[in-house]
Amino acid sequence: MRLILLGPPGAGKGTQAQRLVHKHDLIQLSTGEMLRAAVAAQTPVGLQAKDIMASGSLVPDEIVIGIISDRLDQPDMKNGFILDGFPRTVPQAAALDELLKKKHIKLDAVIELRVNESALLDRVENRVAEMRARGEEVRIDDTPEVLSKRLASYRTLTEPLIHYYSERRKLLTVDGMMTIEHVTREINRILSAIGAVEPKASKAAAPARQAKAGARKTAKPAGKKAAKTARKAAKTAPKAAKAASRGAKKAKKATKKTAGKTAKKVAKKPAKKAVRKVTKKRAKR
């Protein structure tokens, strides 16, 4: 499974990415971490990025794409990946598409976590107020002012990606204002719907599936046996009918013959009696 997560700062991309990583055994690709790893490993691309990063300048897209290319070639990528925080611009997305095409890797989906910006600002304000009330230190980048600037940057640079991936039929939108659990369930539901993952049946359904399969196996031989018996019966039926007809004819003949003999016997008896009477009368005279 290969995914990209889109959404403004504070939308919950990092949380959902981690959940997908654990559930589907994926690798989360963070361009910042990949750049630091490449520099530490002193790869050719990492050495190029090292001086640029040291000067505080932004690393050019071609170097970032080169680092992603090297990472995709590593053996732990076989189950797939999640890109979080990249691409940030349409040119980066086009370069990534070209890279994936060369490597014959299919991007399954781009999941956009859509949120209400004013609600995000309210969340940050409440969180900051609670932290200060507890006496905790507030991070410099975790304030409504900083978030407002990051949201403005997102709208300018990254939001056009929504249209870019929508045109390519890769975009799937999820309401990021739901609870974390609801967002997770919805992401997994739509991934199952597009065939990116196979839906897992519940354990309770397993015995039912086994019973159904067993019934099919039992019914199949029984059905074949019944069909064979019916064909055999159909073949023998005409013979049986002929035999029955011949038997009926023989019985009829036998009945006629027996009836004739009986009639003759019955007829002979009175005749013999009559002869004997006449003979006796004549003898008396």
Q: Which of 13, 50, 209, 232 is catalytic?
A: 13
Identify residue 216 by its one-letter amino acid code: R
- What's the half-sphere exposure (Cβ side, CA atoms, 13 Å) at 147? 19
How many Cβ atoms are within 10 Å of 120's Cβ, its own excluded? Answer: 22
114 in catalytic set: no
Reply yes or no on whether 285 is catalytic.
no
Annotated active-site residue 150? The verdict is yes
Q: For residues 263 and 188, give the distance between their C-alpha atoms in angstroms, rounded to a whole number.
A: 97
Structure tokens at 270: 């009175």
Catalytic residue, chosen from 139, 189, 231, 242, is 139
Run of H or E residues at 109? strand 109-114
| 56 close to 28: Cβ distance less than 8 angstroms | no
Q: Exactly one of 36, 50, 88, 114 is catalytic; which is it?
A: 88
Which residues lie below 8 Å from residue 87, measured CB to CB, with a gap of 6+? 4, 93, 95, 96, 161
Close Cβ partners of 123 (under 8 Å, ≥ 6 residues apart) = 10
- DSSP category for residue 52: H
Are the beta carbons of 34 and 53 closer than 8 angstroms?
A: no
Q: Reply yes or no on whether 168 is catalytic.
A: no
Catalytic residue at 282?
no
What positions carry a catalytic annotation?
A: 13, 88, 127, 139, 150
